[in-house]
Amino acid sequence: MTSQLLPWPEIQQVLIDQSLTVISDRSQLDKLSLDYFHFSPILDHQLREKRGNLVVRPQTEAEVILVAQTCVNYRIPLTVRGAGTGNYGQCIPLDGGIILDLSQLNQILELKPGFIRAEPGVKMATIDKKSQQIGWELRMAPSTYRTATIGGFIGGGSVGMGSVNYGLISDRGNVQALRIVTLEDTPQIIELRGDETQAVIHSYGTNGIITQLEIPLAPVYPWAELIVTFDDFSQAINFGQALSESSGIVKKQVAIHTAAIAQYFVALKDYLSPKKDFALLMVSEYDLEAVKALIQEYSGKITYLKNAEEASKHNSLLEFNWNHTTLLARSIDPSLTYLQVFYWTVEKVEQLYQYFGDEVMIHLEFIRVDGKVIPAGLPLVHFTTEERLNEIIAYHQNQGTGIANPHVYTIEEGGSGHTNPEQLAFKKQVDPYGLMNPGKMKAWSI
């Protein structure tokens, strides 16, 4: 049955009778049914009309269980939502139903050196603010981390600043435990530890409702922020690789942008030039002297340098990287879209740069994959047609790069790129009726 045929007035009353916060206001429903899928013209076309029927905003795990039970009883599709900062349509309800907004499940339960236990709705920047007081911070965070929730990042995210050190959120060790509520006939609470959490990480909320989580933290450094310009693209990308591989230099963020992207960073216009490729960096203040020597070696020019204290008074350069690059570019030219590419080597970057020119504007983010730092990236694409976009993707794949295609909304075709038998098996256990974010796990739908 589709959600439209469910007895919604009755369901709403059941939820209200249980003292749950229920939102049925049209404009709120519109807002809370969406994320940033519209970065993709393909997804925009497919998803823009999708809406949930009701939003429920629990305050406690007990309330989550009540919602879960109601969903099972009525066979209601349930889509979990953090702050809705994803770009793959992770939290778009394909078949209506209940949107479970976890933003009020936002308590930090335990914080100690190297460790935090929290509810999923805590904003990532809030974690940093609290944990930095005891000398620790998140191992990684996306450019949206001022609004993004930690649960949303674990459920739908993958990498961010810090990934040059700690890799992907799914790398063993980066999530220590997840506590979830299931959608079984009688919803259960399950605590997953260590490798068991892989069944839930990056599963778009198809495998249980995260109600608590444990993650390890990273030691705080005073992060200086730098903009460096280069006359030569090859020098710029090789600098990025070299900095990322400099064992004696502690860094958190290494992004390289082709010169054409400068036009979209209006707030940085005093530090950029339309003809110069550039790096946006966060490095340890303690290693600034070494960083400067490396910059000199690659003929870079520092146009912006703020020590950690100064940087904290301004918008972080983080907010020009990752998918904030795309956000800012699209605010100037809404016809732009993007890709997510694992280039593996700077030689491959160079080759694709030469081939596509400014049709595909290179934006690199260096991340650690299997212990080695590689150039990944979110290049900006001048969108013309879906056919041409697919051609561009196919060319990238034929050249041996990996594409996490941001123009599809299933887990398998998008972020992870492959079927995960462990996630499928786990879904059979925790969501036997297939109510959780239906349509997102392709292996289930088939």
Print burial letters for 319-351: b (CB count within 10 Å at least 16), e (below 16): bbbbbbbbbbbbeeeeebbbbbbbbbebebbbe
Determine the Cα–Cα distance for residues 327 and 332; give it in Å rounded to an integer: 9
CA distances from 369 to 171, 338, 343, 366, 418 (A): 9, 21, 12, 10, 17
Closest CB 310 distance from its own copies, rounded Å: 17
Neighbouring C-beta atoms of residue 106, cutoff 10 Å: 17
Note whether 230 and 277 are within 8 A (CB): yes
- Alpha helical stretches, state H, 209-336: 233-244, 288-297, 308-311, 322-332
Closest CB 428 distance from its own copies, rounded Å: 23
Closest CB 161 distance from its own copies, rounded Å: 14
Closest CB 59 distance from its own copies, rounded Å: 30
Closest CB 182 distance from its own copies, rounded Å: 23
Closest CB 340 distance from its own copies, rounded Å: 19
Closest CB 278 distance from its own copies, rounded Å: 22
**Closer residue to its own copies in complex, CB, 98/249:** 249
Positions touching its own copies (CB under 8 A) are: 114-115, 135, 139, 165-168, 171-174, 176, 193-195, 216-217, 219, 221-222, 244-250, 284-287, 289-294, 368, 370-373
Determine the Cα–Cα distance for residues 382 and 226; give it in Å rounded to an integer: 28
116 CB-side CA count, 13 A: 28
**Closer residue to its own copies in complex, CB, 276/368:** 368
**Closer residue to its own copies in complex, CB, 67/291:** 291
- How many degrees, rounded to 5, is the angle at CA 430 between CA 1 and CA 51? 40
Closest CB 241 distance from its own copies, rounded Å: 8
**Closer residue to its own copies in complex, CB, 95/137:** 137
Note whether 410 and 364 are within 8 A (CB): no
**Closer residue to its own copies in complex, CB, 108/250:** 250
Note whether 39 and 323 are within 8 A (CB): yes
**Closer residue to its own copies in complex, CB, 183/249:** 249
Q: What is the DSSP letter of 425?
A: H
Widest pairwise Cα distance in the chain: 69
Residue type, 373: V
**Closer residue to its own copies in complex, CB, 93/167:** 167
Note whether 138 and 395 are within 8 A (CB): no
Structure tokens that stand for 165 in this block = 């050190």
**Closer residue to its own copies in complex, CB, 219/334:** 219
Q: What torsion do the CA atoms of 166, 171, 175, 180 make, to the nearest 10 degrees?
A: 150
**Closer residue to its own copies in complex, CB, 167/415:** 167
Closest CB 345 distance from its own copies, rounded Å: 13
